[in-house]
Amino acid sequence: MKITTNNRIILASESPRRKELFGRLGIPFEIQASGVSEDVEQELSPEEFTLAIATKKSDEVVQGNEDAIVIAADTTVYLGEKLLTKPVDSNQAKEFLQALSGQEHRVITGVSIQGAGISIGFTETTAVQFYELTEEQIDAYVASGDSLDKAGAYGIQTMGGMFVEKINGDYNNVVGLPLGRLFQTLLTLKVIQLEKEISE
């Protein structure tokens, strides 16, 4: 399946995981990360908060790039109503993983698409159930350093995936980008098109 676009596409993220996922579409795109803080003043629901951060990112990058389509995303992890951010240190990473042990949590990604007359956003939620974790497992994983740059202190696409008993929803959403939903949205907006490949 070949996908084409007539637009300049900017992915407003430095995340190697989002870059890899978006690259699966096979269309040219640029990386231009935003420098906005991931803080929002007002009280918002988890979904509203996550989308607000993504929108802040796209708002900044679209300035001066109004002719391009800017795609920004933010992924959050919620245990109940508690936000689990990227841990500040190993101790906090251990606290997060201890809290997640044996529990179901939500991974929410907000996606904002702006530019060329388009301004739209959506959120995707995946429920993730963890196995009961031992202190030995938590200590070994945290010692690897993998948990420190990831919301909720784990990466499902790395060894952190060994802690996951089951998920309900989009796996790619947990990695950092709900690629299927984004693909369908970009098709609907006519940002991308499917090109029929003629076999000889």
- The SS3 assignment for 109 reads strand
Instruction: Report residue 192 CA to chain centroid gap.
Output: 20
- The SS3 assignment for 2 reads strand
**Three-point CA angle 14, 27, 199, nearest 5°:** 150
DSSP 4: E
- Catalytic residue of the set 67, 74, 89, 139: 74
DSSP 177: -
Query: Amino acid identity, residue 93?
Result: A
> Rounded distance, CA 174 to CA 155, Å?
8
Q: Which residues contact 126 (CB under 8 A, 6 or more apart)?
A: 106, 107, 167, 168, 169, 170, 171, 173, 174
Is 67 among the residues known to form the active site?
Answer: no
Catalytic residues: 74
